[in-house]
Amino acid sequence: MSALPPKRESFGSKFGVIAAAAGSAIGLGNIWRFPYVAGENGGAAFIILYLAFVIAIGIPVMLSEFTIGRRAQQNVYGSFRKLAPNRPWYLIGIMGVVAAFMILAFYTAVAGWTLEYIYQAITGGFNGKTPGELNNMFDSFTSGTSRPLIWFFVFMGLTAFIIMAGVKNGIEKSTKILMPLLLIILVILIVRSVTLPGAAKGISFLFKPDFSKIGASTVLEALGQAFFSLSIGMGTLVTYGSYIQKSDDLGSTAFSVAMTDTFIAIMAGLAIFPAVFAFDITPGYGEGLVFVTLPNIFQQMPGGTIFSIMFFLLLGVAALTSTISVLEVIVAFFVEELKMKRKAATYLATFSVSLLGIMCVLSTSSMADFKIFGFTVFGLMNFTTANILLPLGGLLIVIFVAWFFGRDKAKDELTNGGKLKALYLPVFMFIIKYVAPLAIAFVFLQGLGLINLK
């Protein structure tokens, strides 16, 4: 007697889909990574490039992922297997699962830092500290071993706990409340940040482009950041797409998610750069930027303690709704391909990601001198996923939809079998056929120094 496979889970409502997908997209990438990468790459000119990439490439890739996932109703590997039997397209799926391992490892390390900062905020650890002392506080925390490791495991545990319970109730419900709350707190921080003395320099850094700062590597960083921030190029949104109901409009969902994500990134920039300049921190400070700048702002505000608790709490939550989505990629793969139970799959995924994660955590301390291609393990995961694996995945995904899956099936999926208009279809097809593949390939080769057209 062969039992029917259990019915696949799906999101309950369109708002739930947007909350979950935006929950995946909005995270440390917006609030932690975007400001320091923009800072290291000259600010406004970088941001313009970033926006161009989100609109011209990001949204079409996101839509392609949703299309594949909802059509196939499978994990990322299974989706390509199903839509292209006996063809090598499933390699995109394998690449996606590998990227998920790598992202989860270093991302959870940073997510752990947010827990330390929640703890510090609650115990008044920032109070009375000078900018220099806050800087030292970050350095001495990350150069330790036990605390960052403990927080890493706590965060992995939280992620695993939610995934085990099933995504629907956890993510859908919590993101609907927590995302708007994050927005409110960001607005308050922006108001405080832009009214600090000396803030004007930060605002012009953010909005006044200096194109002389743009080099080949900047373009690749902007593309990489767009992919990372939107959670695209590795099948996270193929996986989530497979949980979207057949009656939802994929086009407007992708558009809303991408716009919300971009809006939050710019807002985070507005909260952070004015303060960076006001406190004389270098915008290219790197991974510690947010962890040093924000406590400085809180120091200057009435009620700073309460806001710092709220901020780091929400940063942690934003990170959690992202780590969940990455772990789901691996767990869905284990469940459907290795026929594992969800619980066992989650244990296995969590355990194996942790092995790599420990090395990422120790990259700022005992393994700081262990370098591969000049990167620490943390740096290597951060750089290769965002700047190589995700754009490469995105390139192959659009080529797959445009040239293999084809216009007719894409149209069928995007119009829900003819029920919706999807007037954007010709533009979408044109972009995924020509614009996106050429642009990604070009930026990629140029950024890696394999061609030089300048």
Q: Residue type at 179? A: M
Query: 371 Cβ partners below 8 Å, 6+ apart?
Result: none
Residue (74 or 229) nearer to ligand PFF, CB: 229
Sites for ligand PFF among residues 295-354 (CB under 6 A): 322, 325-326
Q: How far is residue 339's CA from residue 295's CA, in Å, rounded to a whole number?
A: 46
- CB 67, CB 401: distance < 8 Å: yes
Q: Tell the smallest beta-carbon distance from residue 215 to ligand PFF (Å).
A: 24
Q: Which two tokens stand for residue 291?
A: 């962890």
Segment lying near ligand PFF (by CB under 6 A), choices 28-36, 80-88, 334-342, 404-412: 28-36
Q: How far is residue 46's CA from residue 58's CA, in Å, rounded to a whole number?
A: 16
CB atoms within 10 A of CB 425: 15
Three-state DSSP string of 22-62: HHHHCCHHHHHHHHHHHHHCCCHHHHHHHHHHHHHHHHHHH
Q: Tell the smallest beta-carbon distance from residue 325 to ligand PFF (Å).
A: 5
Q: Tell the smallest beta-carbon distance from residue 434 to ligand PFF (Å).
A: 26
Q: Tell the smallest beta-carbon distance from residue 105 to ligand PFF (Å).
A: 12
Residue (27 or 69) nearer to ligand PFF, CB: 27
Residue (234 or 278) nearer to ligand PFF, CB: 234
Q: Does 429 bind ligand PFF (CB under 6 A)?
A: no
Q: Tell the smallest beta-carbon distance from residue 228 to ligand PFF (Å).
A: 5
Q: Does 260 bind ligand PFF (CB under 6 A)?
A: no
Going by C-alpha positions, the residue among 25, 8, 41 that lies closest to residue 256 is 25
Q: Which of residues 27, 78, 379, 393 is near ligand PFF by CB under 6 A?
A: 27
Going by C-alpha positions, the residue among 157, 83, 195 that lies closest to residue 323 is 157
Q: Does 25 bind ligand PFF (CB under 6 A)?
A: yes
224 to 253: interface string for ligand PFF, x by CB under 6 A: ----xx-x--x-x-----------------
Q: Tell the smallest beta-carbon distance from residue 301 to ligand PFF (Å).
A: 25
Q: How far is residue 24's CA from residue 101's CA, in Å, rounded to a whole number?
A: 15
Sites for ligand PFF among residues 84-103 (CB under 6 A): 103
Residue (229 or 305) nearer to ligand PFF, CB: 229
Beta bridge partners of 372: 375
Residue (249 or 261) nearer to ligand PFF, CB: 261
Sites for ligand PFF among residues 100-139 (CB under 6 A): 103
The DSSP symbol for 137 reads H
Residue (257 or 432) nearer to ligand PFF, CB: 257
Going by C-alpha positions, the residue among 241, 238, 345, 337 that lies closest to residue 5 is 337
Q: How far is residue 111's CA from residue 117's CA, in Å, rounded to a whole number?
A: 10
Residue (24 or 299) nearer to ligand PFF, CB: 24
Q: How far is residue 13's CA from residue 172's CA, in Å, rounded to a whole number?
A: 9
Q: Which of residues 19, 21, 22, 30 is near ligand PFF by CB under 6 A?
A: 30
Beta bridge partners of 98: none
Q: How far is residue 89's CA from residue 105's CA, in Å, rounded to a whole number?
A: 26
Number of residues lying near ligand PFF (CB under 6 A): 15
Q: Tell the smallest beta-carbon distance from residue 317 to ligand PFF (Å).
A: 12
The end-to-end CA distance of the chain, in Å, is: 66
Q: Tell the smallest beta-carbon distance from residue 205 to ligand PFF (Å).
A: 21
The DSSP symbol for 10 reads -
Q: Tell the smallest beta-carbon distance from residue 128 to ligand PFF (Å).
A: 32
Q: Which of residues 16, 18, 20, 29 is near ligand PFF by CB under 6 A?
A: 29
Q: Tell the smallest beta-carbon distance from residue 144 to ligand PFF (Å).
A: 24
Query: 351 Cβ partners below 8 Å, 6+ apart?
Result: none
Q: Does 262 bind ligand PFF (CB under 6 A)?
A: no
Residue (36 or 126) nearer to ligand PFF, CB: 36
Residue (28 or 57) nearer to ligand PFF, CB: 28
In the three-class reduction of DSSP (H, G, I as helix; E, B as strand; rest coil), residue 125 is classed as coil
Going by C-alpha positions, the residue among 318, 313, 365 that lies closest to residue 120 is 313
DSSP for 213-264, please give it: G--HHHHHHHHHHHHHHHT-SSSHHHHHHTTS-TTS-HHHHHHHHHHHHHHH
Segment lying near ligand PFF (by CB under 6 A), choices 20-28, 145-153, 275-283, 412-420: 20-28
Residue (69 or 304) nearer to ligand PFF, CB: 69
Segment lying near ligand PFF (by CB under 6 A), choices 25-33, 281-289, 346-354, 417-425: 25-33
Task: Name the site residues for ligand PFF (rule: CB under 6 A).
Answer: 24-25, 27-30, 103, 228-229, 231, 234, 236, 322, 325-326
